[in-house]
Amino acid sequence: MAMVTTLFFMWGFLTSLNDILIPHLKSIFALNYVEATLVQFAFFTSYAVFALPSGKIIEWIGYQRTMVLGLLTMGAGAILFLPAAAAPSYGLFLGALIVLAAGITALQVAANPYVTALGPQQTASSRLNLTQAFNSLGTVIGPPLGGYLILSHAGKALDDVSTLSGAALHAYRVHEAATVRMPYIAIALALAVLAAAIGLYKFPRLEMTRDFRPVVPGQTDSVWNYPHLYWGALAIFVYVGAEVSIGSFLVNYFNDPLIGNMPVARAANLVAFYWGGAMVGRFIGAGVLHSFPPSRALGICAIVAASLVGVSMLTFGHVAMVSILAIGLFNSIMFPTIFALGLAELGPLTGKGSGLMVFSIVGGAIIPLAQGALADHLGLHHAFFLPVLCYAFIAWYGFRGSRIVHPA
């Protein structure tokens, strides 16, 4: 459990760095919001592309080796940031993120169901909330550290870039892109060390391989016979989309004169409070969900989150900032609780269900892109109504859609 939890921490840390890359690359390449959110689109589309193949890889080489392979793939993605920065090329940055996310996808498909199997089904939500709390610890550390290493010298350049052209513009881009080199070299080295540690550790042998094998010939049971699973997959889609959308735009949101009017480096530090709320909430949830119904807790948290987004949209200044940051606390239990509710009582279909749930993380690619388009046309402040709709569906899933209906 402790060894697998380190993986949750690492992919949380790397995922949250996207929130720093978006404003940084937006400045370097003079992107609009839609173009900038291609960072999240490239990253989270990888879940749709690599989730099901990752399940097959687990069949072939097992959980432990898949985790090692995922870490090494992530390290390769981190190394690809070096030629992307040297070029500098936005397309190469997106390519590096795809490789990085391919490795994270393999970890997700292996680690989430592995944790649910390390104890009784009725406490699976509690265990996943505990491991996801350390995932959130990574997301708390990522933005301020990334802001210090990457954004701390970008403030003045953001004001001057519109006046640059030709050789001066290229020199500016080379200088600014170079700030990502050392952080991602360090990340690659850390991933290599973690891969060696996971590879050498003796994991307990669980009888779970069958969960990732195709249904035997003649068996009519299918994941599509379980509404709580496919509605859960849709809930994962909109949850990740809402969480990522909010996190992706926080730096620009706090930079807005009507909201925070603060430099991007300082705004990056505040993003840690958004992810920190999720961390605190998951530690609390790991205890509370031992005795409180997970589905009801999910519905309540979704209603509160939707209300907080609405408050932020209707206000300005500190009220708008505090309310949007507070959403992190109520986001906290959503992903692990939806995941556990969706996989409940699937038996030998658990593996296919896990692949479907991880596939649905592609919502982090699509919904931020849609919100970016809304921000370009309506303004960033009003574009947050899209996460409100996402939380409304999650509330329905918690109170109604997560009920288990066995096929006839």
In tens, the pLDDT along 135-162 reads 888 888 888 888 888 776 554 544 556 6
- Residue 322 has a pLDDT of 94
Q: What is the pTM of this model?
A: 0.76
For residue 15, is it within any domain? yes
What sign has the CA pseudo-torsion 220, 223, 228, 230? negative
For residue 302, is it within any domain? yes
For residue 333, is it within any domain? yes
* Domain at 60, CATH number: 1.20.1250.20
Backbone φ, ψ for residue 271 (5° rounding)? -60, -30
Per-residue three-class SS string for 327-376 = HHHHHCCHHHHHHHHHHCCCHHHHHHHHHHHHHHHHHHHHHHHHHHHHHH
Show the domain range for 371: 2-203+224-401
Hey, what are 23's tokens? 């404003």
Hey, what are 114's tokens? 């592995």
3 state SS of 22: helix
Between the alpha carbon of residue 2 and those of residues 12, 139, 142, 158, 236, the distances in Å are: 16, 18, 21, 42, 25
For residue 42, is it within any domain? yes
Give the number of domains in the chain: 1
Amino acid identity for residue 304 in this structure: V
Within 87-180, residue ranges assigned H as helices are: 90-116, 124-146, 155-160, 166-177
Is the CB of residue 55 less than 8 Å from the CB of residue 212?
yes
Smallest Cα–Cα separation from 312: which of 253, 242, 389?
253
Is the CB of residue 127 less than 8 Å from the CB of residue 290?
no
Amino acid identity for residue 381 in this structure: H
Residue corresponding to tokens 């690659």: 188
Helix axes 90-116, 334-343, angle to 10 degrees: 60
For residue 406, is it within any domain? no
For residue 260, is it within any domain? yes
Q: Which ranges of the chain have pLDDT less than 70? A: 119-122, 152-164, 204-221, 348, 351, 406-408
For residue 213, is it within any domain? no
Between the alpha carbon of residue 213 and those of residues 57, 72, 171, the distances in Å are: 11, 25, 53
- Residue 305 has a pLDDT of 97
For residue 212, is it within any domain? no
- Render the burial of 92-106: b for 16+ CB within 10 Å, e for the rest: bbbbbbbbbbbbbbb
What does DSSP assign to residue 216? P
